[in-house]
């Protein structure tokens, strides 16, 4: 009898587990962390991240991390930390994301044609008719009062001598009388004639004056996503800033700033260091506004 032996290479391949190319991004990250002998909590503490971010990366739940730019930043940083090639994993994630079918365009769904209802025009036509009738009635009343019957003149008829005698007191009364003006009364008159200054108009004039530019400098101790917008909504900065870099922008205040990782970020406004308000910090990130005075406040 011939003996049939199972192929040993196949069994060894099953014991060794799937090839690195067959593993997902999360499985490779988890394997790298386990090789380093680190727990999820220890990794999160060293990277200054929420443990939920580590768990989402190792479980391939990238949608929980927000926009793709945040996912790429966390993925590269965590992969380099556990000894995996960060650039390769980011490229794999980008290829997987681009290969997904685009969501359906709901704006192209055909809709049934809406037939016009002639009854909708009845109410506007009635309203216009009422307005026209009312306008004609008002015009009739006003025109009747202007062109009514003339009333007889009840004034008595005067001859030439009586008219001349009656006009002399009127002419004398209308003549201007020269009144001496003293030095004591001239000052109040000048004060009255001086134009008054409206405080509200002065304040509006100052607000309408062009605002000076504000210089903002950010020193980052860790990798972080940074967005900066000026008062007109123009984008001044929109990218991932690496650890140890200094980003400087200048624009019209107030400036709106968004940080993906606010830990270790030093904010400097026009050469003065400012502290990020506690109410502006949201988890790892922060959202705040640089006012015209140079102070920082929470973004609404």
Long-range contacts (CB closer than 8 Å, 24 or more residues apart) made by 270-279: 270/214, 270/215, 270/294, 271/215
- Which of these three, 69, 99, 129, is where a domain ends? 99
Residue 78 lies in a domain: yes
Mean of the per-residue pLDDT values of the chain: 76
Q: Is the pTM of this model over 0.85?
A: no
Number of H helices, E strands in the chain: 10, 10
- What are 206-226's pLDDT values in tens digits? 455 566 899 999 999 888 989
Q: What pLDDT does residue 284 have?
A: 81
- Specify if 43 maps to a domain: yes
Tell me the CA distances in angstroms from 55 to 75, 105, 259, 262, 294, one per residue in order.
Answer: 12, 33, 22, 21, 39
CATH number at residue 228: 2.60.40
Q: Among residues 288, 298, 286, which one has the least CA distance to residue 256? A: 288
* pLDDT of amino acid 40: 93
Residue 70 falls inside a structural domain: yes
Structural domain total, the chain: 2
Query: What CA–CA distance (Å, rounded) separates 287 from 281?
Result: 7
Can you tell me which residue has the tokens 């009514």?
Answer: 148
Is residue 12 a part of any domain in this protein?
no
pLDDT exceeds 70 at position 300:
yes
Predicted pLDDT at 151: 53
Residue 201 lies in a domain: no
Is residue 104 situated within a structural domain? no
Question: Is 25 within 8 Å of 93 (Cβ atoms)?
Answer: yes
Tokens of 89: 């994993």
Domain of 43 in residue numbering reads as: 19-99
Q: Which two tokens stand for residue 21?
A: 């190319």
Contacts of 158 (CB under 8 A, 6+ apart): 166
The first and second tokens of residue 70, run together, are: 């945040």
Of 99, 126, 147, which marks where a domain is finished?
Answer: 99
Q: Is the pLDDT of residue 32 over 50?
A: yes
The CA-based angle 182-186-192, given to 5 degrees, is 150
Q: Does residue 257 lie in a domain region?
A: yes
Residue 82 belongs to domain with CATH number: 1.10.260.40
- Residue after which a domain boundary falls, among 65, 80, 99: 99
Mean pLDDT of 101-116: 59
The pLDDT of 249-263, averaged and rounded, is 90
DSSP 54-96: HHHHHTT-GGGG-SHHHHHHHHHHHHHHHTS-HHHHHHHHHHH
Asked, for residue 77, whether it belongs to a domain, the answer is yes
Q: CA 219 to CA 136: how far, in whole Å?
A: 75
Of 61, 247, 71, 58, give the one whose Cα is nearest residue 238.
247
Cα 40 from Cα 280, distance rounded (Å): 27
């Amino acid at each position: 009898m011939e003996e049939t032996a199972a192929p040993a290479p196949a069994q060894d391949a099953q014991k060794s587990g799937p090839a690195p190319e067959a593993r997902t991004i999360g499985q490779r990250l988890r394997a790298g962390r386990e090789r380093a002998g680190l727990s999820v909590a220890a990794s999160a503490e060293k990277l200054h991240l929420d443990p939920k971010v580590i768990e989402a990366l190792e479980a391939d739940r990238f949608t929980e991390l927000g926009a793709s730019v945040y996912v790429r930043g966390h993925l590269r940083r965590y992969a380099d930390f556990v000894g995996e090639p960060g650039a390769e994993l980011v490229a794999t994630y980008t290829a997987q994301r681009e290969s997904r079918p685009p969501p359906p365009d709901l704006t192209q769904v055909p809709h049934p044609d809406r037939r016009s209802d002639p009854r909708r025009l009845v109410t506007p036509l009635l309203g216009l008719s009422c307005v026209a009738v009312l306008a004609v009635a008002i015009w009739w009343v006003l025109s009747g009062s202007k062109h009514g019957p003339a009333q007889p003149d009840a004034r008595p008829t005067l001859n030439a001598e009586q008219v001349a005698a009656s006009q002399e007191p009127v002419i004398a009364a209308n003549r201007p009388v020269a009144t001496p003006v003293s030095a004591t009364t001239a000052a109040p008159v000048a004060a009255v004639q001086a134009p008054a200054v409206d405080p509200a108009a002065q304040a509006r004039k100052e607000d309408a004056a062009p605002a000076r530019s504000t210089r903002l400098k950010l020193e980052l101790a860790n990798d972080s996503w940074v967005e900066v917008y000026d008062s007109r909504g123009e984008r001044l900065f929109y990218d991932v800033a690496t650890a140890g870099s200094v980003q400087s922008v200048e624009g019209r205040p107030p400036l709106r700033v968004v940080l993906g990782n606010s830990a270790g970020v030093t904010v400097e406004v026009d050469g003065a260091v400012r502290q990020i308000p506690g109410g502006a910090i949201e988890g790892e990130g922060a959202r705040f506004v640089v006012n015209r005075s140079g102070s920082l406040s929470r973004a609404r």
